A and B are shown apart, each in its own frame.
Chain A
Amino acid sequence: MTDVKRYLEVCFAHKRLLMAPLLAALIGTAAYIFVQPPSYLSSATLWVNGNGVGTQSAAQTQADIVNQYLKTNSFAVSVAQNSPLGGYLDTHGSGTTSRIEGLFGGGGTESKASADTIRLYLGAHVTLTPLGPSELTLVVNAPTPQVANGTALALISQLTNAEISARTTAIQAQLALYKSQLADQAKELSTDLDAVRAYLAAHPSLANNSTASSTDAQLAILQDKAAQDRANYSALLAQIDKTNSDLALARQSQPFRVVDAPKLPSSVSLFARQELLAIAAGMLAGMLAVVGTGALLVRMDTTIHSQDEVQTMIGLPVIGSTPLSARA
Chain B
Amino acid sequence: MSEVLEVKNASKTASPTAKPASVAPAWPSSLYATPRVQAWTTPLNESFVAEEIVEGCRLAIQHLGMDGLRSVGVTSSLRGEGRTTIAIATALVLAEYGLNTILLELDLANPELAQRLAVARFPGLGDLAEGRAILTDTIRPVVAGLSIIPAGVVQGSIPRALSQLSKTEVLDTLVSEGHVIVADLPPLLGNSAGRQAAGLMADVILVVRARVVPASSIIEAVGGLPVTPKVLVNGTKSRVPGWARRLSGV
Cβ–Cβ contact A302 & B52, under 8 A: no
Distance A269 CA – B208 CA, assembled complex (angstroms): 57
Cβ–Cβ contact B248 & A323, under 8 A: no
Of the stretches B12-20, B28-36, B82-90, B123-131, the one at the interface is: B82-90
Of the stretches B58-66, B95-103, B157-165, B173-181, the one at the interface is: B58-66
Digitize A73-92: 1 where CB-to-B-CB distance is under 8 Å, 0 elsewhere: 00000000000000000000
**Cβ contacts under 8 Å, A10 to chain B:** 211
**Cβ contacts under 8 Å, B55 to chain A:** 322
A317-B230, A319-B63, A319-B64 known; A5-B250 Cβ under 8 A:
yes
A1-B250, A13-B239 known; A302-B233 Cβ under 8 A:
no
B233 → chain A closest CB, angstroms: 4
Closest to B58 in A: A320
List B206-247 residues whose CB lies under 8 Å from chain A. 206, 208-216, 218-219, 222, 228-241, 244-245
**Cβ contacts under 8 Å, A183 to chain B:** none
Closest to B187 in A: A328
A17 → chain B closest CB, angstroms: 13
Would you call B205 an interface residue if the criterion is a C-beta within 8 Å of the partner chain's C-beta atoms? yes
A303-B211, A316-B230 known; A322-B52 Cβ under 8 A:
yes
Closest to A313 in B: B215
Would you call B137 an interface residue if the criterion is a C-beta within 8 Å of the partner chain's C-beta atoms? no
Cβ–Cβ contact B215 & A12, under 8 A: no
List B159-208 residues whose CB lies under 8 Å from chain A. 205-206, 208
Would you call B145 an interface residue if the criterion is a C-beta within 8 Å of the partner chain's C-beta atoms? no
Would you call A318 an interface residue if the criterion is a C-beta within 8 Å of the partner chain's C-beta atoms? yes
**Cβ contacts under 8 Å, A5 to chain B:** 240, 248, 250
Cβ–Cβ contact B85 & A316, under 8 A: no
Task: Identify A321's interface contact among B56, B64, B81, B239, CB under 8 A.
Answer: B56
Cβ–Cβ contact A322 & B250, under 8 A: no
Of the stretches A18-26, A100-108, A191-199, A304-312, the one at the interface is: A304-312
Closest to A3 in B: B250
Would you call A248 an interface residue if the criterion is a C-beta within 8 Å of the partner chain's C-beta atoms? no
**Cβ contacts under 8 Å, B89 to chain A:** 322, 326
Distance A328 CA – B234 CA, assembled complex (angstroms): 11
Would you call A314 an interface residue if the criterion is a C-beta within 8 Å of the partner chain's C-beta atoms? yes
Task: Identify A13's interface contact among B52, B83, B85, B211, CB under 8 A.
Answer: B211
A314-B231, A320-B59, A320-B63 known; A325-B244 Cβ under 8 A:
no
Cβ–Cβ contact B250 & A8, under 8 A: yes
Digitize B25-57: 1 where CB-to-A-CB distance is under 8 Å, 0 elsewhere: 000000000000000000000000110110111
Task: Identify B234's interface contact among A1, A301, A325, CB under 8 A.
Answer: A325
A326-B50, A326-B53, A327-B80 known; A302-B215 Cβ under 8 A:
yes
Cβ–Cβ contact A305 & B80, under 8 A: no
List A274-322 residues whose CB lies under 8 Å from chain B. 301-307, 310, 313-314, 316-322
A310-B208, A323-B237, A327-B85 known; A316-B231 Cβ under 8 A:
yes
**Cβ contacts under 8 Å, B50 to chain A:** 324, 326
**Cβ contacts under 8 Å, B238 to chain A:** 9
Closest to B213 in A: A303
B12 → chain A closest CB, angstroms: 36
Would you call A53 an interface residue if the criterion is a C-beta within 8 Å of the partner chain's C-beta atoms? no
A12 → chain B closest CB, angstroms: 5
Cβ–Cβ contact A326 & B230, under 8 A: no
A322 → chain B closest CB, angstroms: 3
Cβ–Cβ contact B234 & A12, under 8 A: no
Q: A12-B240, A316-B229, A326-B86 are in contact. List 7 more A-B contacts (CB 8 A).
A: A1-B250, A305-B210, A314-B219, A321-B60, A323-B56, A324-B235, A327-B85
Q: Which residues of B contact A (CB under 8 A)?
A: 49-50, 52-53, 55-57, 59-60, 63-64, 79-86, 89, 112, 205-206, 208-216, 218-219, 222, 228-241, 244-245, 248-250
Q: Which residues of A contact B (CB under 8 A)?
A: 1, 4-5, 8-10, 12-13, 301-307, 310, 313-314, 316-328
Top 7 A-B residue pairs of the complex, sorted by shortest distance between their CB atoms: A322-B56, A325-B235, A320-B60, A326-B85, A326-B82, A321-B233, A323-B237
